[in-house]
C-alpha cells in the first residue's frame, strides 16, 4: 500500500511532468479550455445540487478536496464566499496559486492526502471530482470521508465523486495490485502510454458498490442522501454521493 509520502511524490512527479494532462487529458494542449471545462461542468452538475441543498451559496465556505490546478476552484470561487482548496501535491498547489492569484477568496493548501486543515464544522459544503478515484486504498478513502464528516457544519452537504463497479471489475483491480509497479510501467511504455500512470496512486483502489459507500459514509458520521448520476463518464462507472452529517 503506498504511503502518504508516496502519494505526494507520485503526484508531484505528474505535476512537474505535465500538470494539465494528469488532471484533464482532454485539454492537455489547451490551457484556456482546461479552465473553461471546470466552469462548464460546475454549471452542469454542481449548480443544481448547491441550489437545492444550500440555497444561496454566496456567503458560504466550501472545501474542495483534490484541487489540482484549480479549475473547479475558480468555478467555486464564483459561487461561494470562501474556498479552501487542498491537494496532496505541493507542486500542484504551487502551480494553482500562480494560476489563480487573481482570485482572493481561494486559499490553496498542500496536505498529506488524509487530513484537512480546517476546524471541526468549518465548511458549509464539500466538493470533490475525479479525485477519490485515484486514492490508492479504501483506507485512504475512509480517512478522507472521516475528515468530510468532521469539517461539515450541521445542515451542510458534501458532493463526492466516486468510482463504482461490479464484482468483476473489483476483482480486476485487486489482481492488478499483485503486479509490481515496474511491470505496469513496462507495459504502459510498450503500449505508448505514460509510465506515470502505472501505480496505485493513479489506478486507485478497487471500485466501490453503493452499499459499500453507504457503510463507509456511516462510519465517517455521514448519511448518503442520494446517489446522483455522473454525466461525464460511462454509466455505472462513477457516481456522485450526496452526503450530509448524520443525525446524532
Helix or strand or coil: residue 243? strand
Eight-class DSSP state of 42: I
pLDDT at 27: 54
> Is it the case that residue 186 has pLDDT exceeding 50?
yes
* pLDDT higher than 70, residue 4: no
* Stretch 119-125: mean pLDDT: 97
Residue 200, in any domain of the structure: no
Q: Is residue 204 part of a domain?
A: no
Residue 1: per-residue pLDDT? 42
Q: Please list the helix, strand and coil fractions of the chain in percent, rounded to the nearest 5, in that order.
A: 50, 20, 30
- In a domain? residue 65: yes
Where is average pLDDT lowest: 16-25, 88-97, 182-191, 231-240? 182-191
Is the pLDDT confidence value at 181 over 90?
no
Return the closest-CA partner of residue 39 out of 75, 90, 65, 6. Answer: 75
Question: Is residue 169 very low, low, confident or very high in pLDDT (cuts 50, 70, 90)?
Answer: confident
Phi, psi at residue 117, to the nearest 5°?
-80, 55
Q: How confident is the model at residue 248 (pLDDT cuts 50, 70, 90)?
A: low
The number of angstroms, rounded, from the C-alpha of 177 to the middle of its chain's C-alpha atoms is 21
Residue 247 predicted with pLDDT over 50: yes
Question: Does any domain span residue 120?
Answer: yes
Render pLDDT for 137-155 as a digit per residue (tens, 0 to 9).
999 999 999 999 999 999 9
* Least confident stretch, 137-146, 161-170, 193-202: 161-170
- Is the residue at 14 inside a domain? yes
Domain count for the chain, please give it.
1
CATH number reported for the structural domain that contains residue 95 in this entry? 3.40.50.150
Q: Encode pLDDT of 22-70 as tens digits.
A: 998 765 567 888 999 999 999 999 999 999 999 888 899 999 999 999 9
181 domain-assigned: no
Percent share of the chain, pLDDT over 90: 76
In the chain, where does DSSP find H-type helix? 4-23, 31-41, 47-53, 71-79, 90-99, 138-151, 167-176, 181-190, 200-203, 210-219
175 lies in some domain: no
The pTM score is 0.92
Are 7 and 201 in contact, with CB atoms under 8 Å apart? yes
Contacts with 243 (C-beta within 8 Å, 6 or more apart), sequence order: 148, 157, 158, 159, 160, 217, 222, 223, 224, 225
What's the domain range around 25? 4-166+209-245
Local confidence band at 93 (pLDDT 50, 70, 90 cut-offs): very high
Question: In whole numbers, what is the pLDDT of the chain averaged over residues?
Answer: 91
State pLDDT tens for residues 216-238: 999 999 999 999 999 999 999 99
Residue 186 lies in a domain: no
Q: What are phi and psi of 152, to 5 degrees?
A: -70, 135
Amino acid at each position: 500500500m503506498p504511503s502518504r509520502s508516496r502519494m505526494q511524490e507520485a503526484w508531484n512527479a505528474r505535476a512537474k511532468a505535465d500538470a494539465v494532462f494528469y488532471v484533464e487529458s482532454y485539454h492537455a494542449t489547451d490551457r484556456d479550455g482546461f479552465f473553461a471545462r471546470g466552469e462548464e461542468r460546475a454549471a452542469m452538475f454542481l449548480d443544481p445540487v448547491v441550489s437545492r441543498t444550500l440555497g444561496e451559496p454566496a456567503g458560504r465556505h466550501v472545501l474542495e478536496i483534490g484541487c489540482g490546478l484549480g479549475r473547479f476552484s475558480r468555478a467555486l470561487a464564483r459561487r461561494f464566499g470562501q474556498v479552501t482548496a487542498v491537494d496532496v501535491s505541493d507542486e500542484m498547489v504551487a502551480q494553482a496559486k500562480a494560476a489563480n492569484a487573481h482570485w482572493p477568496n481561494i486559499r490553496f493548501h498542500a496536505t498529506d492526502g488524509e487530513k484537512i486543515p480546517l476546524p471541526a464544522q468549518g465548511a458549509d459544503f464539500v466538493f470533490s471530482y475525479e479525485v477519490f478515484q485515484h486514492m490508492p486504498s479504501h483506507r485512504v478513502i475512509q480517512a478522507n470521508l472521516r475528515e468530510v464528516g468532521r469539517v461539515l457544519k450541521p445542515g451542510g452537504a458534501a458532493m463526492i465523486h466516486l468510482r463504482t463497479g461490479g464484482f468483476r471489475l473489483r476483482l480486476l483491480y485487486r489482481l492488478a495490485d499483485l503486479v509490481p509497479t515496474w511491470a505496469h510501467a513496462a507495459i504502459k511504455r510498450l503500449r505508448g502510454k505514460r509510465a506515470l500512470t502505472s501505480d496505485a496512486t493513479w489506478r486507485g483502489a478497487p471500485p466501490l458498490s453503493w452499499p459499500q459507500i453507504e457503510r463507509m459514509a456511516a462510519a465517517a458520521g455521514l448519511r448518503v442522501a442520494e446517489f446522483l448520476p455522473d454525466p461525464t463518464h460511462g454509466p455505472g462507472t462513477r457516481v456522485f454521493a450526496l452526503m450530509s452529517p448524520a443525525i446524532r
